[in-house]
Structure 1
C-alpha cells in the first residue's frame, strides 16, 4: 500500500466510524439500544441485512474456496438466495409481529424457561465462534497487505467493532448501510480487474482444469446442506431476526429478506469469477484465506488497493458488529434480566451493562480467533450447535399448539448431541446414508422427536 491507498482506507474507516457515532448518540434507553425503537426503514433493513450476512466467510473464504474447486464454490454464497426467499415468504412477517425481542424469548414464552436458557446459551456460544471468524479474516488481510503482526491487526479489528457496536442497534444498522456500499464497490470492481489481467474470460477458462467452470461439480448434498445451513441461520439467528423484529412494519421486514436474496444472486457470480481468475493468475497458493489480499497487492493499481482493503474490512466489520450486538441482546434480554428482577433494572443500567458486555464478548471472540483457521468449517459446526436444534421447535411452535415444553427441551438436547456425533463419528460408520450432511440428519431427528414425544405426553 502507498500513501493513496492508506488515505482511501483511512477515509473509509473514518466515514463509517463517524456514521456509527452520530447514529448512536441518542441510544440511551434499552429499547433504543437493543431494538432501535422498532423504527428500521426499508433501506436500512435491506442494506443492513445484506451487509450483516456477507461477512468474511462470504468474501475472503468464498474466494479461496472457488480458487480450490472452481465456479461450484459460488454455492457457498448462492445458497443464501433461496434461503432468504423462504424467510421472505413465510417467516419475516411473523418475526416482525413476534411478542419479544429475541427467538429464545419467544421459545421461553411458547415452551418454558429451560428451553429459553438452553437456546440462549447455545446461541451465544455459536455467535462467539462466528465473531472470531470475522476477526480471523480481518487479521489475515491486514497482515498480507500491511505486514502488521496478527496481534496488532487483531487489536485494530476488535477496537473498531467495539466502537461501532457501542452505539446500539441504530448505530450498527446505519454503519452497515455505509459498509454495504463499500463491499459492493470493492467486489464489483475486482471482477473486471482480474479478468483483464487474465487476458479476458475466454483466456482464463481455457487455462482451467476440467470441470472448473461447472457449478455442479460439488454434487447435490453439499450445496443443499449449505442451503439448509443458511435457512437455519437466517430463521433462528438473532443477527437477522433482530432486523425483522426492529423493522417498522411487516412489509419492511419482508423487503429486507427479499433485497438480500437479490444481492446474493449477483454477488455469488462475481465471487466465483474472482476465484477462478485467481487460480490462473496465482497458481499454487496454499493458504487460500490470503487469495483476496494477495490479489489486491499483485494486480490492483494503487488507489483501488485501498478500496479493496476497505471492502474486506467492511465485510468483516459489518458482520462483526451485528453478531456482537445480537450476542449482547441475547445475554441481556434472555439471561441477565431473567436472573435479576426486570423491574429492578433501569434503562440506564441496562445500557451500561450492554456496553460492558460488548467489550467482554469481543475479547472472548478475539481470543478464540487465535485458534480458528478453517473459516467455512467453523461456521458450519457453529450452525450444528444452535440452528439445527431450535428450528423445528420454533416452526412447529408457531404453527401448532401440540408441541409441549418437555418435548421441545428433550428434542433440542438430543438434536445437538446427535448432530455433532453424526458429523464427527456416525457418518463414517453408517452405510448408504452416511453421506447425508449432519445438519439435515439433525433436522430429521428433530422433526421426528418433537411430535412423537408431544403425542406420548398428551396420551398419558
Structure 2
C-alpha cells in the first residue's frame, strides 16, 4: 500500500495526539481507586465509547470485512455483534448492579466474596495466563501485521512498537488514560467506517444496487450443519456463553463499568455500547461486501478488502487518519488488556498473598511494574502465533473455550442459588479444561460453539450435584457497599427493551 506525505503525517500526528490527551487527562491519579478504576468517576458516554473501542480491533475492520468479502459466512458474522447487544442488556440489568454494590475492583474478587480464596485465585491465574498468552499476543501480532501491510515494517519491529507505546501511557495513567485513548480512537474509527460505507454505497450505485449485487451475502441465518456459524449455536446455543462472559465477566471489558460514578450511569453506558453494537456490522461487514462488488477481481487476500477500499474511496489526509485510528484500535484493545491484567495481579494476587498491608501508593507502583512486565512477555510471545495454522481468529476463539463456560457457570449459579459453595465452583472451573479438551478431540468436525455449550451444561450439572450432595455448613453473603441505590429510570428500561426489539428486527430483516 502506497501512502503520500499527507497521509503519513496525518497518521503520526493522530497517534501523538491520542497519547498526549490520554496522559494529560490522567496526570492526577493519587489512589489505587484513581489508577485502577478512574476514581469511579466515569460518565455513561465515556463508558459506552470505551467499551466499544476496547472491543474493536483489527479483527473487526480487517477480519470481519474479509468475511463479508469472501461470502462463505457473509452478514451472518454480524451475529457476533447483534447477540452481543442483547448480552449487554442482560449485563446492564442483571450483572452490573450486583458488581457495583459489592464494591469490587475485579471479577475474581467477586468470586472471592461469594465463594472462597481458592476460587478467586484460580480465576485470577487463568485470566492472566489467557490475557498474556492468547489475547494480548494475538492483538499485538494482528496490529503488527497491519503495520507491515501499510508501511512494510517488519513484524517483530511492529510488535515491539505497539507494545511499548500502549504500555507506556498505560503504565503512567492507568484506567483514565485507557478510557480517553479509547474515546478518541473509537469515535474516529466509527465515524471513518461510516464514511467508507456511505462512499461505498455511492460508488456501487446506491443501496438498492448494493443489495442486488450481494448475491445471497446478506443472510444472518445459516444451516444447522454449517461448520462455523450454525443457526442453532447462534440463536439458542453456544454463542451466548462467550458473549455473556466477554461483556459481563471479563475484566478487560468490565473494568470501565466498575469505574462508573453510579449504577445507573454504568447501565446507561452499557446500553450506549449495545446501541453502537447494532450499527457496527453496517460499517464493517458491508464495506467488505462492497469491496468484493467493486474490486473483487483485483483483491487476492480477503483481509485486504477494507484497507484497499479506504485507499480507493477516501481523499488524502483522511486515509492517514483512518489508518491511524485502525492502528489505534489495536492499541485501545491492548491498553485495556494491560490495565486489567495489572489490576488483577495487584488486587487478587499481590495484596492477598504478598503484601496485605500495601497502601495505595504501593499498589499503584506494583500495578505499573506489572503492566511493564506483561507488555514485555506479550511482545516476546506474539511472534510464536505465526506458527498457528488455523489463523488468529480461530486461535483466540478456540482457546478461550477452556475457561469461559466454567467461569460463567460459577458466576450464574452463585447469583441464582445460595447453596452453591466454593468447592463446587472451584472444581467446576477446573473441570472445564479436560471436558472442553476431550470434546475438541472427539468431535473435531462440529462448530466450537457447540463444544462450549456442552461444556457449560456439564459443568452446571456437576456444580448443582456437588453442592446438594455435599452441602456446605456455612453460607457466604456478599456485603453491600455504600453505593447509593437508585430507582431504575423508565428511560433506561425502554432503552434496554428497544435494543432487544431492534436486534430481533435486524434478524428478521436479514433472515
Q: TM-score, normalised by structure 1?
A: 0.92
Q: Aligned runs of 1:41-440 on 2, under 5 Å?
A: 41-68=43-70, 69-128=73-132, 129-166=134-171, 167-208=173-214, 210-217=215-222, 218-224=229-235, 225-283=238-296, 285=299, 287-343=301-357, 345-372=358-385, 374-422=391-439, 424-428=440-444, 437-440=450-453
CA contact (8 A) 1:392 1:443 kept: yes
Q: CA deviation at 1:161?
A: 1.0
For 1:114 and 1:16, the matched residues in 2 are separated by 40
Range with bigger deviation, 60-69 or 250-259: 60-69
| Counterparts of 1:42 and 1:132, CA distance in 2 | 30
Which whole-Å CA distance do the structure 2 matches of 1:436 and 1:234 have between them?
17
The answer (yes or no) to whether the contact 1:176–1:318 under 8 Å persists in 2 is yes
- Structure 1: give runs of 5+ residues left out of the alignment: none
Change beyond 3 A, Cα 1:98–1:61 = farther
**Structure 2 Cα separation of the partners of residues 436 and 378 of structure 1:** 14
Q: d(CA) in 2 for partners of 1:7 and 1:436?
A: 43
Change (3 A) 1:370 1:434: closer
TM-score norm. by structure 2 comes to 0.83
Instruction: Give how far 1:293 is off.
Output: 2.4
Which piece of structure 1 moves more, 170-179 or 225-234? 225-234
Change over 3 Å in CA distance of 1:435–1:251 after alignment to 2: closer
Work out the CA distance in 1 between the residues paired with 2:443 and 2:337: 31
Q: 1:207 to 1:29 in 2, by over 3 A?
A: same
- For 1:436 and 1:237, how far apart are their aligned partners in 2? 18
Q: Deviation per CA, 1:305-327, whole angstroms, max 9, x where unpaired?
A: 11220221232121111111001
Gap change, CA 1:443 and 1:327, over 3 Å in 2: same
Residue 252 of structure 1 and its aligned partner are, at CA, apart by 1.1
CA shift at 1:434, angstroms?
8.2
The number of aligned residues is 454
Gapped regions of structure 2 (runs ≥ 5): 223-228, 474-511
Residue 206 (structure 1) shift: 4.3
* Aligned mates of 2:447, 2:54 — CA distance in 1: 33
Q: Take 1:412 and 1:459, find their aligned partners in 2: how far apart are those partners?
A: 18
Q: Distance in 2 between matches of 1:291 and 1:365?
A: 28
Conserved 8 A contact 2:147-2:327: no
Determine helix, strand or coil for the equivalent of 1:342: coil
| Secondary structure in structure 1 of the residue aligned to 2:401 | helix
Matched, 1:39 2:63: no
Q: Please, which moves more after superposition, 359-368 or 442-451?
A: 359-368
SS at match of 1:302: coil
Q: How does 1:441-452 map to 2 (within 5 A)?
A: 441-452=454-465
Shift of 1:207: 4.3
- What's the secondary structure of 2:261's corresponding residue? coil
Contact map agreement 1:145 1:294 (CA 8 A) in 2:
no
- Taking a change above 3 Å as real, the CA distance of residues 287 and 441 of structure 1, as seen in their structure-2 partners, is farther
Contact 2:170 2:177 in 1 (8 A): yes
Task: Tell me the CA shift for residue 222 of structure 1.
Answer: 4.6
Query: Displacement, 1:201?
Result: 4.0
Q: CA 1:99–1:457 in structure 2 vs 1: closer, same or farther (change >3 Å)?
A: farther
CA contact (8 A) 2:100 2:263 kept: yes
Cα distance between partner residues in 2 of 1:161 and 1:290 = 25
